[in-house]
A and B are shown apart, each in its own frame.
Chain A
């Protein structure tokens, strides 16, 4: 574990930006959670008499090609992007934690088998394997989420395996055991504090990747299916109106970029704060 940078150094240089990004993310999470109360309209309500209108008091960002409220669709889109990213993160983390810890503790053939499986998955560029999985199992949001989980857990498994193997040999663990500490106490007071910082960093960056990948899949028409509002899918639908109504594809793209930039910046700051390497992929 590297020594963290002196807190004052970070505070002086980065804090306002960090707070801004954290604020954006908390705001987005709030928007996603309370979408039904915030959104001015039903995101899927088609009203062809209102199609492709500019901003007005009733439709703050205007309407799309089917007369649906653009702002409401963006708000509901946050639900899918953030919700799925959290889901993918938790699920791949859980699988990775289980496999990695198992492989780290039980060396020998269990470790060999699990790690070769990881090597096999890592032999493919990750998004291409996701696309291949969607090709094999069929398009749809559910398949995309499962495919992303199946690709992502590998990185966590390797990370946790490495950590467990290092921690296993640490003197303070042996000392705690000799002292008669229970396994739970060792995990809580010695292992968890060591694992948490890198996990926090990688988790933050992972959210950004997941959102990017989900929106890319939806953009390709393989993820979220019409009429569900999702940012990538909105760009996919809006691209045909690039000459007349570019805002249809500009707003959702801005939303994606804003969220990903915030996750990346927070992740980077946390990495610097905890002295963690952030190169997982």
Chain B
């Protein structure tokens, strides 16, 4: 177990180094000159001397390997530089914008679990029953509906027509419900199908048959044997989809004017605020890689056989 953990944690390092290489490589190849972008974001008239000074400050006159090396050192310390627009360290801005996004993401994750666990379980124990058909319909709509459109549909029906919820913004629990539901919808679709699949699989296992022949009560079989075996694949799904959740927050925050991390990123793209863009993309990769690491560790704890096999990744 210990060896597995150490190996798995160390395996993240080369991937992160590669990710930084790709990120710095792309910025290097970009036709946009960061020095120019900085001056225009700061509303400073660019002159040749100023541009040259800024280039030297950003290290753009250095050879590429040097730039890459510097980027690795900086990012390892979570130093993303200074925002062109606000003039403050990017990390400071990020920490300010992160709590609303985490609030939104956690709420929708909980919402997704609360809805999809019973739905997926009921769909799995009775194949082709009512819940199975319902879960199939939700799965198809969830995979096919653009979340930005779903958000506006919610706004239209529940905020404009029925006036149950505010149209956007933050402040109360009521503000949180529509965006969280929008963000949760594709996850509900996914987790329901996932749980349904593993419940069906677990029902076919020999130990379930054995439990039945022993005359155990159906409720006990389902709770103790089936559900317990059906949960680990769901944890994998959860971890695998944190990237999707993160992407979702960008769109949902834009739709509902939610003052979070995702909107900050979109604003930065419009302003060509390179340090913020770079910082966000790097942090997203960190969350993405970190979550798959976490999933592997949790699974190894739940099911030690996996650690012996070397994990899922």
Contacts and interface: CB of A to CB of B under 8 A. Distances in A.
A125 B250 CA distance: 12
Contacts of A127: 247, 250
Nearest to A131: B269
B281 A132 contact: yes
A120 B24 CA distance: 12
A256 B152 contact: no
B288 A220 contact: no
Scoring A128, A129, A137, A243 by chain B CB atoms within 10 A of each residue's CB, the highest score goes to: A128
Nearest to B245: A125
B18 A136 contact: no
B253 to A, nearest CB: 11
Interface string B204-222: 0000000000000000000
Interface stretch (A2-10, A92-100, A191-199, A260-268): A260-268
Contacts of A232: 146, 148
A124 B247 contact: no
A208 interface: yes
B10 interface: no
B144 A242 contact: no
A161 B265 CA distance: 35
Nearest to B244: A125
B16 A123 contact: yes
Interface string B12-46: 00111011011100110011100000000000000
B300 to A, nearest CB: 21
Contact of A133 (B26, B156, B244): B26
Contacts of B247: 125, 127-128
A84 interface: no
B285 A135 contact: no
B192 interface: no
Scoring A208, A216, A252 by chain B CB atoms within 10 A of each residue's CB, the highest score goes to: A216
A215 interface: yes
A128 B246 contact: yes
A135 B274 CA distance: 8
Contact of B149 (A135, A137, A222, A249): A249
A208 B288 contact: no
Contacts of A252: 149
Given A123-B16, A135-B268, A128 B243 contact: yes
A138 B272 CA distance: 8
Interface residues of A, number: 45
B106 interface: no
Contact of B152 (A120, A208, A253): A253
B146 A216 contact: yes
A124 B292 CA distance: 12
A206 B308 CA distance: 35
Interface in A104-154: 116-117, 119-121, 123-129, 131-139
Interface string A214-245: 01100111100000000010010001001100
Interface in B197-238: none
Contact of A137 (B30, B144, B285): B30
Contacts of A85: none
A136 B146 contact: no
A121 B289 CA distance: 12
Contacts, number: 142
A20 interface: no
A131 B152 CA distance: 22
Contacts of A134: 269
A246 interface: yes
Interface in B233-283: 243-244, 246-247, 250-251, 254-255, 265-266, 268-270, 272, 274, 277-278, 280-281
B37 to A, nearest CB: 10
A253 B146 contact: yes
B284 interface: yes
Contact of A135 (B19, B243, B251, B272): B272
Contact of A123 (B144, B145, B160, B288): B288
Given A125-B247, A129-B281, A131-B265, A137 B31 contact: yes
Given A129-B281, A136-B32, A137-B30, A239 B152 contact: yes
Interface in A29-61: none
Scoring A120, A133, A215, A261 by chain B CB atoms within 10 A of each residue's CB, the highest score goes to: A120
Interface of A: 116-117, 119-121, 123-129, 131-139, 208, 212, 215-216, 219-222, 232, 235, 239, 242-243, 246, 249-250, 252-253, 256-257, 260-261, 264-265
Given A131-B269, A135-B269, A239-B152, 10 more contacts: A123-B16, A125-B244, A132-B280, A138-B32, A216-B148, A220-B251, A220-B254, A246-B160, A260-B143, A260-B144
Top 3 A-B pairs, shortest CB-CB distance: A125-B243, A120-B18, A253-B149
Interface of B: 14-16, 18-19, 21-23, 26-27, 30-32, 140-141, 143-149, 152-153, 155-156, 160, 243-244, 246-247, 250-251, 254-255, 265-266, 268-270, 272, 274, 277-278, 280-281, 284-285, 288-289
